[in-house]
């Protein structure tokens, strides 16, 4: 219990909590606008595809800019763009223009969150895991608010509450004074950096694909959808917290191996399935940690690579579907085993003392 | 594989073909730039060692 308390009160973890809120609000706005645009549009297929592409892929470029020019207030510009997107939506201006503004705002806020939480964390994964977890709660809240016809003006006011949080979180980054993320050392140095990066992106692609491929025929009501998204968020945060408590390698083994049977048997049982989803979401923080370990000077690009992986994983869902339950289960089993083996290869073995001292 | 069903239909982008093509080109260009940037970063980190 004492160790859990120690992890949750790590130095600078306030940046993680602040960005949990910022990420939560960002996703609320994005999914509020996206759900409304899809409801009004004839091109229901194209709008989410454009959103996925523009919100995920350019983050590597914005990450590079953020790494290079840390003085650019990415978070503030991102908030202004989100508010602009809400205003454009209220004025019923061109859907694609709204999407472009919304997605760039989304990218900037994500990149700023990653930069601040990674640089302030001094090699811990809890900070960025707590930041990323906020998104899952925001996605479902944004969808619900759009469905009940929530007022845009209130949402603009809620968006503006992010500005003081961004300014406060910036204080943590300045205090950490991290030029390079030298405390991130999770990868196995036996293999070349390019191989580690490619294998890590492969794991993220699989996670992106499985996020949609997991059989969840139990998920039929709004309450069940809320539970599913909240469990994803809790799993993401737990991944980082558990990595700081018991080590990255052990967390990777536990999360990948335990999730598999739960996900497969849980097709018709909500509780079993949710346990699987929670464990399955835990690898998120680990893959980000590995990429930052390789690209120590460029945490922004490292985060951008994770979002590119997510896009590449979700893109096939727009074009193909595995029709048979048996085949889908087989694909999930094979992909999970491959990911497990890759994680064992690319993750450095930590000694007990190392984990204890962390 | 018979269980793999194609769900994409060209009618999905009807009237928006240009948007779709511009989007695909943008994705491709960003991916290429990212590969270049990552290569540069790996070089820099190797020089640091």
Q: What is the DSSP string of chain B?
A: -TTEEE---GGGGTT-HHHHHHHHHHHHHHHHHHHHHHHHHHHHHHHH-
User: In the predicted model, what is the mean pLDDT of residues B5-31?
Assistant: 87
Of B4, B37, B38, the CB nearest to A322: B4
Confidence at residue A351, expressed as pLDDT on a 0 to 100 scale: 62
Q: What is the DSSP letter of A268?
A: S
Nearest residue on chain A to B27, alpha-carbon basis: A57
The two three-digit tokens of residue A274, written as one number: 């949710």
pLDDT at residue A178 is higher than 70? no
Tokens 């219990």 -> residue: A1
The model's pTM: 0.92
Confidence at residue A142, expressed as pLDDT on a 0 to 100 scale: 95
In chain B, what residues touch A311 (CB-CB under 8 Å)?
27
CB contact under 8 A, A320 and B1: no
CA distances from B48 to A68, A194, A220, A297, A300 (A): 17, 16, 53, 10, 19
Q: What is the pLDDT of residues A134-162, one digit of tens each?
A: 999 999 999 999 999 888 889 999 999 99
What mean pLDDT is reported for chain A? 89
Tokens 């408590």 -> residue: A245
**Beta partners for A320?**
B6
Q: What is the pLDDT of residues A80-97, one digit of tens each?
A: 999 999 999 999 888 899
Q: What is the pLDDT of residues A249-272, one digit of tens each?
A: 999 988 988 888 888 887 778 888
Q: What angle do CA B26, A23, A112 make, to 5 degrees?
A: 60
CB contact under 8 A, B30 and A57: yes
Tokens 């097709």 -> residue: A267
Q: Is A346 in contact with A291 (CB distance < 8 Å)? A: no
Measured between CA atoms, how close is B5 to chain A, in angstroms? 5
Kindly provide the ipTM of the predicted complex, given to two decimals.
0.92
Measured between CA atoms, how close is B32 to chain A, in angstroms? 11
With an 8 Å Cβ cutoff, is B34 touching chain A?
yes
User: In the predicted model, what is the mean pLDDT of residues A246-251?
Assistant: 90
Burial class (CB in 10 A: 0-12, 13-18, 19+), A344: middle
CA distances from A162 to A18, A56, B1 (A): 9, 21, 48
């Amino acid at each position: 219990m004492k160790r859990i308390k120690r992890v949750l009160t790590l130095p600078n973890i306030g940046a993680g909590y602040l960005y949990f809120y910022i990420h939560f609000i960002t996703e609320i706005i994005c999914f509020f606008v996206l759900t409304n645009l899809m409801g009004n549009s004839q091109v229901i297929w194209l709008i989410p595809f454009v959103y996925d592409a523009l919100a995920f892929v350019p983050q590597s470029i914005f990450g590079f800019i953020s790494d290079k020019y840390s003085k650019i207030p990415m978070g503030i510009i991102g908030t202004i763009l989100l508010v602009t997107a809400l205003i454009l939506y209220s004025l019923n201006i061109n859907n694609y223009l709204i999407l472009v503004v919304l997605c760039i705002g989304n990218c900037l806020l994500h990149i700023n969150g990653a930069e601040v939480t990674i640089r302030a964390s001094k090699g811990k994964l809890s900070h960025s895991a707590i930041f990323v977890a906020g998104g899952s709660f925001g996605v479902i809240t944004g969808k619900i608010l759009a469905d009940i016809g929530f007022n845009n003006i209130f949402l603009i006011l809620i968006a503006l509450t992010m500005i003081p949080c961004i300014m406060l979180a910036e204080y943590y980054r300045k205090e950490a004074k991290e030029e390079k993320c030298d405390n991130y050392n999770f990868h196995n140095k036996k293999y070349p950096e390019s191989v580690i990066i490619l294998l890590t992106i492969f794991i993220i692609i699989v996670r992106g694909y499985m996020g949609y491929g997991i059989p969840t025929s139990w998920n039929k009501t709004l309450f069940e959808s809320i539970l599913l998204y909240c469990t994803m968020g809790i799993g993401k945060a737990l991944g980082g917290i558990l990595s700081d408590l018991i080590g990255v390698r052990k967390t990777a083994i536990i999360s990948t191996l335990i999730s598999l049977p739960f996900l497969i048997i849980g097709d018709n049982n909500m509780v079993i399935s949710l346990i699987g989803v929670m464990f399955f979401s835990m690898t998120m923080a680990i893959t980000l940690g590995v990429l930052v370990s390789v690209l120590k000077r460029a945490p922004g690009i490292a985060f951008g690579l994770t979002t590119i992986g997510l896009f590449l994983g979700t893109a096939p869902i727009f074009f193909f579907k595995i029709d048979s339950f048996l085949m889908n289960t087989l694909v999930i089993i094979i992909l999970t085993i491959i990911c497990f083996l890759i994680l064992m290869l690319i993750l450095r073995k930590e000694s007990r003392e190392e984990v204890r001292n962390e | 594989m018979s269980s793999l069903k194609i769900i994409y239909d060209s009618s999905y982008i009807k009237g928006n073909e240009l948007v779709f093509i511009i989007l695909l080109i943008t994705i491709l260009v960003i991916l290429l730039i990212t590969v270049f940037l990552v290569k540069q970063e790996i070089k820099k980190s190797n020089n640091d060692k």
